Structure 1
Amino acid sequence: MFSEQIEERIVGIALKNPNLADDPDFKSRYFMGERAQAIAEALCVLPTEKRSLANIWNELDNGYNQHNYPISYDDLVALEELIAGQASFYRDLQVVKRNYLENALQQAMVNYSQNRSQDHLDKVTSIIEALDTINTCDSGELTVASQEFSDQLAGKGPKAIKTLPKLDVLFNGGLSGAKLIALGARPGLGKTAFGLNLVQAILANNAEVHVDYFSLEMSKLEIFKRLISLQTQIPHSHLINPANCKLDRIKLEQAQEQILASNLQVYDSLRTLGSILAVIQAHASQYRQQYVVFIDYLGLITLDQQYQLDRYLLVSEITRQLKMCTLDYQVPIIMLSQLNRAVESRLNKAPQLADLRESGSIEQDANLVAFLYRPEKDLHKVNLIIRKNQEGCLGELTFKFKGETMTFE
């Protein structure tokens, strides 16, 4: 999951704070981008006290530029001026190291499958052990946590992202920080509709927040029409073939302009976890805790490499990596998921955690798990039941559902 932006931010911070290049995990071979790798190598070659921009540029001029990939002095200045702190440096460095090791592991596994020697097996084992140490590289210091808490007490911390008023109570005032949220339902109960209601509420209440919506089931056009219906309250059925209906064109044009001007991006062609995480990594770094991700829906994501895994293990790996992403970048990710059919055969239709389809890891990795269901044969009522909430209470919310515009109120 290579991200040039992350790698260049790391070397930019190291240019501003040269002693950071002495970190044992700051190794040029971990970088996949040619420019970042060259700068990292120059930083590592020079003693700490001689890592001025002029000396680094001279080192690059004598070495790297011979390969016809020039890096100007102005390039170094621009990288040094990137706005990011040391906390970002250490977090990003672990991401780059993990990417390097995961790529190395894939190659080592290929080598072992072709030649099942002890040397190749030892290589696979050593890389796995190295990967296991990444999440345990922690000094145990509470200084940063203490400062973040002090900032929150003083009102200096990041503001909670407002959603629907009823949900904000469960979120302790709104979305914030590293949260993996699972929203489950049986087909046809409105997972996508509820997700888009949340998107609309977030964009309406938080002008500075950026939202990425990964749609693996519907096209951009279908998502856009649903948002138009929510915005205008024109029935969605009238927008399927709008040329055949008498519609308020001015109202529709205004809604289109508002959606296009918002901080929303919809992706309908990204299917693999790696491609999704690459976008999240880049945008989480860019928007700095003013960012929310929606994945619609979990069961359609595939891994980049076609491992011989059953679906249970595959989903477990996907949720594990999504959870790590929320922690690495302090970003809330809302993933939609289907429920298995067992719920339909019970007298009590209220979903349970065990009804999550394909993997118990969803329940394990998610900070909050909620389900949509109809408690009675009333098409205008949908309940949201919260079965897991690490930072708040459990409970049940009732929403009025307007099917013609797929609005939850």
Structure 2
Amino acid sequence: MNNEMALVAELLANPNIITEIELDSAWFDSPIFQKITDTCLQLAGTNYRLEDIHRELKAKDPFSCPTMDELELLRDGANGKGLEYHLAESLHTAYVDRLVKQETERFATTGADKYANRLVELLEERSTLKTAKRTGAITEALNTYDEMRKTDKALLASYGAIDQILGGGFSGGQLVIIGARPAVGKTVLGIQLALKILAQNEGARTDIFSLEMGQWQVASRIVAQRAKVNAVLLRNPYALNPDNALKCRKVLSDLQKEDMRIYDDRYTINDIVYTIKRRAKRGQYVAIVDYAGLIEVQDSRKDERRALNEVTRKLKRLTNDLGITIILLAQLSRGLEGRQDKKPMLADLKESGSLEQDANVVMLLSRDPKDKEILYCDIAKNREGITGVAKLRFRGQYQEITDYPEWQR
């Protein structure tokens, strides 16, 4: 029995396995094993039976569906020795190796940059798969503690009200979700957090991945805030008066000296991961990704829920592996607009399962109905500490978010 057959046998024998290991049907060579795995992923979280799998397979493709007898025979081949994690890891490695060979041949034939770039990504992924896992010994935790004791840069300061709730600021190993409805201010807060962290933490490095807006649109928000020029005027810089034009150019010139980059290409999750790995600086790096629903995955066959699961899983793993903070912006569902108080809740996160589950911190934004300059940042989930609401001031004309007076620094 080969590895593909052995793993599928375990999936059929024990439904819980599918929720305990990382698995993608694309890793399988066999089309029938791909279909069975897809069906198991579809039924994940339910106590599915062999009959359920057969029914779903038959509904999708009645002509090439395996019989119940064939499925039973396959299931009976499971050994139940807990090797499914290693089998999945082996399939993943073999899959990446096949892609490396394929892209190498394409690049050798065409010399096209797109194949070269894809090959670099795959080799990076292959290197990650080969990385030795931790031993689990407490000695590792002791070493981490000793390293953290050597520096006062364990936490990254931002807004006073937010930092108080977070226990002092952002830290490495955190996936932070900022959720809001459109036009509430999540993009502005993401940009402002990047600037705050750069300004208040010597040696910090930040990157903004903007999948919704172009680089200039993001930069113009920074210019508006720092030059105190109405953001609307920056839609047509040609019409700026000489004084404002000079101030705006100085802001952009100064921004070049700061360790921040703005990426606006059509990034897949693998592109983002690869770029972050090249730029990451342990404990002193923050990436802001705007926003979750626009990130593409390599396998276009995945539905929105499974694609988002892959995105949050990879970003969360990256925060742990590199000891960095990633802030992922997300759009809340329309459901909250039907509630009288319009106060967002964790359940309002679209496809909230993986967003809420994988996040260390979830911040939900809302405006005060009586004063649109008041922005509430409800820290509704905080694995490392307390929850609470931070009160901020939003000035739309300058695309600026500041602390309230009691938190001014």
Coarse TM-score class (shorter-chain normalised): 0.5 to 0.7
Paired position in structure 2 for 1:253: 249
Q: Alpha-carbon deviations, 1:284-343, whole Å to 9, x = none?
A: 2xx233211110000101101213x32122211211111111111111100000000110
Equivalent positions of 1:61-140 (< 5 A) are 106=27, 108=29, 127-128=87-88, 130=90, 137-140=133-136
Letter in 2 for 1:281: K
Matched residues in 2 for 1:102 and 1:352: separation? 30
Asked whether 1:401 is paired with 2:361, we answer no
**Aligned 8 A contact 2:270 2:297 in 1:** yes
CA RMSD, 1 decimal: 3.1
Match of 1:386 among 379, 388, 392: 379
Aligned residue among 284, 308, 312 for 1:290: 284
Question: How far apart, CA to CA, are the structure 2 residues paired with 1:256 and 1:136?
Answer: 43
Counterpart contact for 1:183–1:370, Cα < 8 Å: yes
Q: Paired residue for 2:274, among 260, 275, 278?
A: 278
Q: Distance in 2 between matches of 1:300 and 1:113?
A: 26
Q: Deviations over 1:255-279 (max 9, x none)?
A: 1111111111111113211111111
Partner SS for 1:279? helix
Partner of 1:349: 342
Secondary structure of 2:350's match? Answer: coil
Whole-angstrom distance in 2 between the partners of 1:395 and 1:193:
21
Other structure's SS at 1:404 match: helix
Asked if 2 retains the 8 angstrom alpha-carbon contact of 1:163 and 1:202, the reply is yes
Aligned residue in 1 for 2:300: 306
The aligned counterpart of 1:316 is 309
Q: CA deviation at 1:363?
A: 0.6
TM-score, with length taken from structure 2: 0.67
Are 2:265 and 1:269 aligned? yes
**2:27–2:91 contact (8 Å) kept in structure 1:** no
Q: Secondary structure at the match of 2:315?
A: helix
CA distance in 2, matches of 1:344, 1:390: 28
Residue 104 of structure 1 deviates from its aligned partner by: 11
The reply on whether 1:215 has 2:210 as its aligned counterpart is yes
Summarize the Cα distance change of 1:317–1:103 in structure 2 as closer, same or farther, 3 Å threshold: closer
Q: Which one of 222, 229, 241 corresponds to residue 227 of structure 1?
A: 222
Match of 1:336 in 2: 329
* Cα deviation, residue 208, structure 1: 1.4
Q: Is the 8 A contact 1:214 1:270 kept in 2?
A: no
For 1:239, the equivalent position in structure 2 comes to: 234
Give the unaligned 5+ runs of structure 1.
1-100
Deviation readout 1:204-251 (Å, 9 max, x if unpaired): 122411111100000001011111111111110111112113243332
1:148 corresponds to which letter in structure 2?
Answer: T
% identity of equivalent residues: 31
Question: Contact 1:349 / 1:375 at 8 angstroms: preserved in 2?
Answer: no
Cα distance, 1:157 vs. partner? 6.4
**Partner residue in 1 for 2:172:** 177
Q: 3-state SS of the aligned residue for 1:392?
A: coil
Kindly provide the amino acid, as one letter, of the partner of residue 362 in structure 1.
Answer: L
Change (3 A) 1:147 1:102: same
SS of the residue corresponding to residue 140 of structure 1 reads coil
Q: Which residue of the partner structure matches residue 192 of structure 1? A: 187
**Distance in 2 of aligned mates of 1:169 and 1:187:** 27
Contact 1:320/1:365, CA 8 A, preserved across alignment: yes
Counterpart-to-counterpart distance in 2, 1:129 and 1:147: 28
Partners of 2:286 and 2:324 within 8 A in 1: yes
Report SS of the residue matched to 1:217: coil
Query: 1:184 is aligned with what amino acid?
Result: G
Secondary structure, aligned partner of 1:360: helix
| 8 A Cα contact 1:225 1:239, kept in partner | yes
**What is the alpha-carbon distance in structure 1 between the residues aligned to residue 313 and residue 34 of structure 2?**
25
Unaligned segments of structure 2, at least 5 residues: 1-21, 36-63, 78-83, 94-128, 403-409
8 A Cα contact 2:194 2:207, kept in partner: no
Aligned pairs, how many?
Answer: 302
Q: What secondary structure sits across from 1:289 in the alignment? A: coil
Moved more, 129-138 or 225-234: 129-138
Residue matched to 1:168: 163
Q: Secondary structure at the match of 1:108?
A: coil
Worse-superposed segment, 183-192 or 143-152? 143-152
TM-score by length of 1: 0.67
Aligned AA for 2:288? Answer: F
Give, in whole Å, the separation in 1 of the partners of 2:30 and 2:159.
47
Task: Output the amino acid matched with 2:350.
Answer: R
Deviation track 1:13-56 (CA, whole Å, cap 9, x = no partner) reads xxxxxxxxxxxxxxxxxxxxxxxxxxxxxxxxxxxxxxxxxxxx
| Aligned-pair CA distance for 1:165 | 2.1
